[in-house]
Chains A and B, each alone.
Chain A
Amino acid sequence: GNSVTQMEGPVTLSEEAFLTINCTYTATGYPSLFWYVQYPGEGLQLLLKATKADDKGSNKGFEATYRKETTSFHLEKGSVQVSDSAVYFCALRGSSASKIIFGSGTRLSIRP
């Protein structure tokens, strides 16, 4: 079945550092891929998405590229801010499915 594996946290960085959170997936066909974010005390919200191979999703300075050859969708940001501290979830929807499955989440903390 479909699955999502993302790097374990917590990840702690200094402000303005470069961020990468790794995400790899297993799926048949052509899934849609997502990053969701959960800020402290808030509900999950969609950060970015990509629906086909080589698509790049981007939002709020974050980017992720759908790489079918490596089955990956790594999240990157060039210069993180304290306000980026949150839990980040990689997620997948199979090409013929309604349900969306999530990775285990990565907690990110940014030091001033």
Chain B
Amino acid sequence: DVKVTQSSRYLVKRTGEKVFLECVQDMDHENMFWYRQDPGLGLRLIYFSYDVKMKEKGDIPEGYSVSREKKERFSLILESASTNQTSMYLCASRPGQGATNEKLFFGSGTQLSVL
């Protein structure tokens, strides 16, 4: 089975801190995604990457950046954490293009609290 591992289940940070959320997948997937999940808003796409060193902005990239130096690892960076970035962060991966490769595989999430 594909495994998508997020480094922390719970994280508490202070306003203004630089925060790194790490995600690793073990199935050589080309595509990786970062979403945040908020009650009543569902999942909103922050950034995604379709190859090493390639990235594209999602719907809410402001205040975030990403890094994909290796195929298996996709990092989300909060340059200066703010309270409105308190959320559940979900990482996902998917193989490359093709109708048989539609399924997203999700990690278990990181609940980030910014105080």
Contact = CB atoms under 8 A, between A and B. Distances in A.
A99 B45 contact: yes
Chain B interface extent, by class = 20 to 34
B108 A42 contact: yes
A49 B102 contact: yes
Interface stretch (A11-19, A69-77, A101-109): A101-109
A25 interface: no
Interface of A: 32, 34, 36, 42-46, 49, 51, 89, 93, 98-105
A102 B102 contact: no
22 contacts: A36-B104, A43-B108, A44-B90, A44-B92, A44-B106, A45-B106, A46-B103, A49-B102, A49-B103, A93-B102, A99-B33, A99-B48, A99-B56, A100-B33, A100-B94, A100-B104, A101-B45, A102-B35, A102-B43, A102-B44, A104-B41, A105-B42
Nearest to A104: B42
A51 B106 contact: no
Interface of B: 31, 33, 35, 40-45, 48, 50, 56, 58-59, 90, 92, 94, 97, 99, 102-104, 106-109
Contact of B59 (A49, A51, A93, A101): A101
